Amino acid sequence: MTCTIQVRNPRNGKLDYEIVTPSREEMEERCTALRAGQEKWLEIGLQGRIKAMLEFCDAVDRHREAIIAALTEDTGRYGMSVAELEGVIGITKMRCATAEAALAPAAGNSSDPSLRFQQQYVPHQLVGIISPWNYPLILSMIDAITALLAGCAVAVKPSEVTPRFIVPFEKAIREVEYLRDVLAYFAGDGETGGNIVDLTDTLVFTGSVPTGKLVQQRAAAQFKTAFLELGGNDPAVVLKSADADTAAEIIVRGSVENSGQLCCAIERVYVDRSKFEELRDRIAERTRALTLNDGDINGDIGPVIFEKQVRILREHLEDAVTKGAKIVVGGEVVERNGGYWCEPTVLVDVTHDMRIMKEETFGPIIPIMAFDTEEEAVKLANDTEFGLSAAVIGDEARAIEIGSRINAGGLWINDFDTMGGVGDRAEKTAFGVSGLGGTRYGPGGFMRFMRKKAIVVRKLPA
């Protein structure tokens, strides 16, 4: 059965939008149509699919103002909404350029001259995507793009926290022949997400660890594969050789991008004791200069998008202070006309018995801790159940050596979140509870959605 969900505006707290969830029967009907469309989508071949996806880029660009406006309402930030739209177009074009090489058929011989094989890639007919609220557009499409180019149809369930973009985005999709028959969005809540698991052949979930576990359990019960892209509590290690200004810039940028509401944010910082005071002061100076966008949509720090996150931020800060942490900058989650903003915050005297050093905080908070030896730094960085990514700042060769011992799928040396620049070729998978399944990057991002058939041929004597 359907139900109506009221949607909160993160800037003023008002329930000023609503979605009507689809019934199970409506979803079954639409998914049946997607499967029918997939047959033609596969039939037009890779070049036909590339043509359609490039036309999709043009359609998105034609609707850019409406999509950006809806994303801005969804998230309370403008600049990152523009970046999301540009990111979807950029990723689509990049994937179109690399699809042929990634999907090239393989063949070979054996030591037996009469025996050879060829590899056939068979796409899943219908892929399900369940995406989160922090980057509503780009995380709903990052895996859909490769799945579509691989020849799959795709059913997407974005977060009910940020659904406004769906309407203008679907207008762009409907303008593209063939694509409109194989890509559909379903606005809804957890029940809708459960239906996506049930009605598709394989799926990608991006979101929290607890919900990811539920998705995995439901998929496994149906013998389906679920690729899980989950949370992090990512460390940054600053070596003695690091330049303090450079390190401060990387750390602040990595901690407050999208107001800290991203899975690969830098959430804990370990600094060689000889540089601790200098770096603390440089980080504090940069953090104090940041502005909330409560009055100006172009400010540095946007509102807390998901209201439930306010409680987590406050609990983590309170727990840290109660256990002895000292606030250098910020330290409050403030209310402005119904919306909530987390002040960009710097903490010192932190320890690993504090939740802020062990759990995903998802806010613009920078806890800084000193270490005495590189071995201690590695041990601290690895003292976590997560393993999404990490940063090491300092002499390049030494930073790579230290980073190679940190349990994380992505390692940024002297920068932060540089995966986008090499993601057409480089591949990474998560460690620990930060994810499960093959890479979404590089050639493997296409292979997620393929079943591989080995055709083995014996040449008979003439």
Catalytic residues: 229, 263
Q: How many CB atoms lie within 10 A of CB 327?
A: 17
Instruction: Please list, in sequence order, all residues whose beta carbon lies within 8 angstroms of the beta carbon of residue 24, skipping any fewer than 6 positions away.
Output: 1, 195
CA pseudo-torsion sign 30, 35, 39, 44: positive
Based on the number of CB atoms within 10 Å of its own CB, is 51 exposed (0-12), middle (13-18) or buried (19 or more)? middle
Give dist(CA 148, CA 127) in Å, integer: 9
Neighbours of 370 (CB within 10 A): 21
Residue position matching structure tokens 């899980």: 228
SS3 call for 369: strand
Q: Residue written as tokens 């601790």?
A: 276
| Close Cβ partners of 267 (under 8 Å, ≥ 6 residues apart) | 232, 233, 234, 235, 255, 260, 356, 360, 361, 365, 367
Angle of the 396-403 helix axis to the 374-381 helix axis, nearest 10: 50
* Residue 254 DSSP code: H
- The Cα–Cα gap between 180 and 170 comes to 9
